[in-house]
Amino acid sequence: MRVVKVPLGNRSYSILIGPGLLSRLGAACQRLQLGTRCAIITDTNVGRRFAQPVFESLVKAGFAPSLIVVPAGETAKSLRTAQACYDQLAVHRLERKSFIVALGGGVVGDLAGFVAATYLRGIAFVQVPTTLLAQVDSSVGGKVGVNLKAGKNLVGAFYQPRLVLCDLDTLKTLPDREFRAGLAEVIKYGIIRDARLFARLERDLPKLLKREPKVLADVVARCCEIKATVVGKDETESGLRAILNFGHTIGHALEAISRYGKYLHGEAISIGQVAAAKLSTTLLDLSAGEVRRIITLFERAGLPTIVRLTPAQRARAFAAMRLDKKVRGGEIKFVLAKRIGRVEFGCKVPPKLIDQVLSDSAFCIPHTEF
């Protein structure tokens, strides 16, 4: 088992990574000095597979868990579902010392974390992420929330879990498309912070796609380390944490204009990262060779890299970018790459260039250097 620490003073916590960890959840929770009562919040897909071992592990360690199952899918990340969870928590008489276990992907993690942050003005919660995206990204760092009709994640909080437990065995049942979508965030960590990770992904991608345990463990642990370091330095995104949004400005806009139907999050940010890399050649001198390496890695991971929007779609994408939470004073700011492993945030990009990159896949990469 690997252990990564998220350094946040008296709110610091550990991320445990390894195979066969679900059965050790109860023992790990014992060390946190939590109350006896707890609730496992999960979704229909995940609950069917993993609720039982989690439940049994908690009972064995002396806890009294109840089970709350929400529908699978993004629509469950709503105030309506949160309300249904609160009602269940009240029925099961959870108290201030009680805690919530979020068992599932990013949807369950964000929802259950939000419920924990608000029920009785905040009770403890533990993340047990079961998708690759949730293990390397959403379960770490304390962003919790739900969606509104007007947009994603518009209601929420910064609320850190007490523990994150990544059981790599749970990834065995994850559908291929979901696994590949998670790889988009994995590749992102290489681009923003770790050229060696990026090179390793280039080398070991076939093994990773086969979900080989050793490579998977190394890669998940490294991504968690990077996220933990960034969050430790800037928990509430007043600066550095913005680098985690590499590829997300355009990615979120694509998700919004396709009404969260066409692309999975990872697929949208794959296109967004390639677009940001292309913009970086013009604005920050990222070399054409490095852009090519970035495109090739996303392609090999089976992720989309190109989008060609019509003028009407581009107008809608711009409108969506302006609505993004990260926009300040109406200016759309980008994270751009200086080279693989190094990015800058808060970069202004002329709207004309954004427009071009959304309409033309051959945008401004000088072909001579390939």
Ligand X SMILES: NC(=O)c1ccc[n+]([C@@H]2O[C@H](COP(=O)([O-])OP(=O)(O)OC[C@H]3O[C@@H](n4cnc5c(N)ncnc54)[C@H](O)[C@@H]3O)[C@@H](O)[C@H]2O)c1
Active site residue 325: no
Rounded to whole angstroms, how far apart are CA atoms 49 and 37?
A: 23
Which amino acid appears at position 305 of this protein?
T
Catalytic residue (one of 252, 278, 314, 333) = 252
- What CA–CA distance (Å, rounded) separates 218 from 244? 20
CB 150 to ligand X: min, Å: 15
User: Residue 255 catalytic?
Assistant: no
Q: What span, in angstroms and rounded, lies between the C-alpha atoms of 269 and 85?
A: 30
Tokens of 184: 């988009």
Identify whether 237 is a catalytic site residue.
yes
| Residue at token pair 């770490």 | 140
User: The dihedral of CA 208, 212, 217, 218: what is its sign?
Assistant: negative
- The pair of structure tokens assigned to 193 is 């912070």
Given the residues 162, 188, 222, 237, select the one marked as catalytic: 237
Does the annotation mark 147 as catalytic?
no
Least CB distance to ligand X at residue 283 (A): 26
Q: Which of 222, 227, 278, 333 is catalytic?
A: 227
Q: Is 198 left (phi over 0), alpha (psi -120 to 50) or beta?
A: alpha
Active-site annotation holder among 188, 225, 245, 290: 245
Q: How far apart are CB 269 and ligand X at their closest, in Å?
A: 9
What tokens were used for 65?
């868990």
**What does the H/E/C string look like for 9-33?**
HHHCEEEEEECCCHHHHHHHHHCCC
What minimum distance in Å lies between the beta carbon of 286 and ligand X? 24
Least distance to ligand X, CB of residue 62, Å:
27
For ligand X, the closer CB: 22 or 365 = 22
Give the nearer residue to ligand X in terms of CB position, either 271 or 291: 271
What length is written for the chain?
370
Residue pair 182/132 in contact (Cβ under 8 Å)? The answer is: yes
Which residues are paired to 37 by β-bridges? 64
Reference 209, options 232, 252, 180, 229; nearest CA is 180
Of 162, 180, 188, 248, the active-site residue reads 248
Of 4 and 283, the one with the shorter C-beta distance to ligand X is 4
Among candidate residues 265, 278, 314, 333, the one labeled active-site is 265
Residues that bind ligand X (CB under 6 A): 43, 45-46, 72-74, 77, 104-108, 110, 130-131, 133-134, 137-138, 141, 143, 152-153, 170, 173-174, 178, 265
* 92 catalytically annotated: no
* Closest by Cα among 342, 79, 67, 346 to 191: 342
Can you tell me the distance from the alpha carbon of 34 to that of 31, in angstroms, rounded to the nearest whole number?
Answer: 8
Minimum Å gap between C-beta 80 and ligand X is 15
- Is 248 annotated as catalytic? yes
Among this protein's residues, is 241 annotated catalytic? yes
Q: Which is nearer to ligand X, 38 or 146 (CB)?
A: 146
Task: Clarify whether 367 is annotated catalytic.
Answer: no
Q: Which residues are catalytic?
A: 121, 143, 185, 227, 237, 241, 245, 248, 252, 265
